[in-house]
Chain A
Amino acid sequence: NAGVTQTPKFQVLKTGQSMTLQCAQDMNHNSMYWYRQDPGMGLRLIYYSASEGTTDKGEVPNGYNVSRLNKREFSLRLESAAPSQTSVYFCASSEANKGDEKLFFGSGTQLSVL
């Protein structure tokens, strides 16, 4: 039972480089999310996708783009990485059909931007 799978687990970038974080879930969930977690701060929502074909901004979307490739996959792209984007990134999914957000998280991607 894989659940939510994120790749890569670790990544180091130089300022200005681009990269895409991949996320896939095998629970047939409609909704998917990208969060970032920084030391001394709570998890913050970057983008979410309520269903296949839709995406919306969360609390901290600047500097990121997302793609909901299909029901299973939701990717996060950094077009021009900045040191402020050094963080741990978590992908999550939920059924979201009862209105409550019981989220299932992946194991995270630790990203360092130098």
Chain B
Amino acid sequence: EDQVTQSPEALRLQEGESSSLNCSYTVSGLRGLFWYRQDPGKGPEFLFTLYSAGEEKEKERLKATLTKKESFLHITAPKPEDSATYLCAVQAWGGSQGNLIFGKGTKLSVKP
């Protein structure tokens, strides 16, 4: 069964304190792994797509990496505006279109 597990469930950081969020996945064949950001009361906002092990993508203070079993979202010198819930999702080959398997998310709080 395809599944995605994110850890930790919640993470509190001080402004400037770098850390990483983890997304472990089990999927029959990975077509793509996605990271989204979700602010309270809003829909998820796309951040990155990763397709193969070893791939990395960056956007401002965020860097996503991918191995054959997990993905990390590294946050460097975070700011309070980075506070949000970060969602990881996988798409499997052969799965129905749009049927991303989402994790439960990591709620990140960055204190000034």
Q: Mark A76-95, 1 if CB is under 8 A from B, else 0.
A: 00000000000000101010
Given contacts A45-B100, A48-B97, A96-B98, contact A104 B46 (CB under 8 A): yes
Chain A residues positioned under 8 Å from B49 (CB to CB)? 100, 102
Kindly provide the distance from the CB of A8 to the nearest chain B CB, expressed in whole angstroms: 14
B105 within 8 A of A: yes
What's the dominant secondary structure at chain A's contact region? loop
**The one of B31, B51, B105 that contacts A42, using a Cβ cutoff of 8 Å:** B105
What is the number of contacts between chain A and chain B, taking CB atoms within 8 Å? 75
Say whether B4 faces chain A, with CB atoms less than 8 Å apart: yes
> CB within 8 A of B104: which of A42, A105, A108?
A42
The interface residues of chain A lying within 8 Å CB-to-CB of B87 are 42-43
**What 0/1 readout, one digit per residue, does chain A (54-71) give for beta carbons within 8 Å of chain B?**
001011000000000000
How far apart sit A100 and B33, CA to CA, in the bound complex (Å)? Answer: 9
**Which B-chain residue is minimally distant from A38 (CB atoms)?**
B104
**A7 interfacial contact with B, CB 8 Å:** no
CB of B72 within 8 A of chain A? no
Count of B interface residues, CB-CB < 8 Å: 26
Q: Please, how many angstroms separate the alpha-carbon atoms of A44 and B97 in the complex?
A: 13
The verdict on A101 contacting B97 (CB below 8 Å), with A41-B104, A42-B4, A42-B105 known, is yes
Q: In the complex the two chains form, is A58's CB within 8 Å of B44's CB?
A: no
A81 to B64, CA, bound (A): 40
For residues 42 through 92 of chain B, which have their beta carbon under 8 Å from a beta carbon of chain A?
42-46, 49, 51, 87, 89, 91
- Is there an interface contact between B46 and A48, defined as CB atoms closer than 8 Å? no
Minimal Cβ-Cβ distance residue in A for B43? A105
Do B97 and A105 touch (CB < 8 A)?
Answer: no
Given contacts A43-B89, A102-B49, list 4 more A-B pairs with CB under 8 A: A42-B105, A59-B99, A105-B43, A107-B42
Interface, chain A (partner B; CB < 8 A): 4, 31, 33, 40-45, 48, 50, 56, 58-59, 90, 92, 94, 96, 99-108
What are 5 A-B residue pairs whose CB atoms fall within 8 Å in the complex?
A43-B89, A48-B96, A48-B98, A96-B98, A102-B49
